[in-house]
């Protein structure tokens, strides 16, 4: 089993495929297995690195460090794998991990995708007000109501059940998550780190409302925003084609070329629409 020893704890990780490396960092409701709708696509051209944050999936957190150690853990993992420069994809909580890592090691980041998240981003002014209201409104929601949009749950009951089942392998949930982010990063700083940044937001996300993400993205110089309609907090899970293609476009923009020319869903070209 691929484990990395971190003091008295073990960090579980997997690598799939060959080529430049993309790191996928999961959210509170997930673990390494939650990315099953990304790995088969991305590994056509890239190496994909999956891991369980400490306290999630197969990773332990006997030290009780939680979020305070997430960026250190990611640094140790990339050092262990000998990866000097990677593309980072952070979903919700995982975005906080990626942002804190990127601020510390900008030269090691080729591109950053912040998916359905403002974790570890400094909240000021209107953004603080929007997030305070969102936390109040979403705090008592059931887990699946927080992470999946209502249209998806109706359309895909089996995949909704699977999301809940995968979460059941975690020893930590959002209310038991320990530690704090080492740093709250001003949006303007993010845009001056030297790599392209993509925000992805679902219009039905109750946890990080699209208005708040829009407001932050507008403060990040040179960043981009993709909004997905009729979708909740888990765009990567609910709308994998849109998510994967948006990520691949970011990598193309960053000059982070994979082993194949393109693995976009439309890489063969669009077919003309006949009226």
Give the pLDDT band of residue 212 (cuts 50, 70, 90).
very high
CA distance 83 to 73: 14
The model's pLDDT over 214-263, given as tens digits with 9 standing for 90+, comes to 999 999 999 999 999 999 999 999 999 999 999 999 999 999 999 987 88
pLDDT value at residue 53: 98
- Residue 21 bridge partners (DSSP): 47, 86
The model's pLDDT over 150-174, given as tens digits with 9 standing for 90+, comes to 999 999 999 999 999 999 999 998 9
* Nearby residues of 43 by Cβ (< 8 Å), 6 or more positions away: 16, 17
CA distance 259 to 132: 44
Closest CA to 152 of 202, 112, 116: 202
pLDDT value at residue 136: 96
Angle made by CA atoms 93, 50, 83, in degrees to the nearest 5: 105
Give the pLDDT band of residue 264 (cuts 50, 70, 90).
confident
CA distance 16 to 13: 10
pLDDT value at residue 161: 97
Flag whether pLDDT at 59 surpasses 70: yes
Flag whether pLDDT at 45 surpasses 60: yes
* Nearby residues of 80 by Cβ (< 8 Å), 6 or more positions away: 4
Per the prediction, the chain carries an average pLDDT of: 95
pLDDT value at residue 268: 53
Flag whether pLDDT at 196 surpasses 90: yes
> Within its chain, how far is the Cα of 213 from the centroid?
14
pLDDT value at residue 273: 46
Domains observed in the chain: 3-253 (3.40.50.1820)
The model's pLDDT over 61-97, given as tens digits with 9 standing for 90+, comes to 999 999 999 999 999 999 999 999 999 999 999 999 9
pTM of the model: 0.95
pLDDT value at residue 258: 94
What's the mean pLDDT in 46-66?
97
pLDDT value at residue 266: 67
pLDDT value at residue 208: 98
């Amino acid at each position: 089993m691929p484990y990395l020893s971190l003091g008295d704890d073990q960090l579980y990780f997997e690598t799939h495929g060959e080529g430049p490396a993309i790191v996928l960092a999961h959210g509170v409701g997930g673990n390494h297995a939650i990315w099953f709708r990304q790995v088969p696509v991305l590994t056509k051209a890239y190496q994909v690195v999956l891991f369980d944050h400490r306290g999630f999936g197969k990773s332990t957190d006997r030290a009780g460090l939680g979020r305070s150690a997430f960026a250190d853990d990611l640094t140790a993992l990339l050092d262990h794998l000998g990866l000097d420069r990677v593309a980072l994809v952070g979903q919700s909580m995982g975005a906080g991990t990626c942002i804190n890592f990127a601020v510390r090691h900008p030269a090691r980041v080729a591109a950053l995708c912040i998916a359905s998240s403002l974790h570890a981003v400094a909240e000021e002014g209107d953004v603080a007000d929007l997030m305070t209201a969102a936390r109040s409104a979403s705090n008592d929601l059931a887990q699946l109501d927080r992470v999946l949009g209502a249209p998806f749950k109706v359309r895909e009951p089996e995949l909704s059940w699977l999301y809940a089942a995968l979460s059941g392998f975690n020893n930590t949930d959002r209310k038991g998550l320990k530690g704090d982010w080492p740093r709250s990063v001003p949006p303007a700083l993010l845009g001056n780190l030297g790599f392209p940044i993509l925000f992805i937001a679902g219009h039905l996300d109750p946890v990080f409302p699209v208005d708040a993400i829009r407001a932050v993205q507008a403060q990040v110089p040179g960043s981009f925003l993709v909004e997905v309609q009729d979708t909740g907090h888990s765009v990567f899970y609910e709308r994998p084609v849109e998510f994967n293609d948006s990520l691949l476009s970011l990598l193309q923009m960053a000059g982070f070329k994979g082993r194949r020319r393109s693995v976009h869903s439309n890489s063969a070209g669009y077919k003309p629409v006949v009226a």
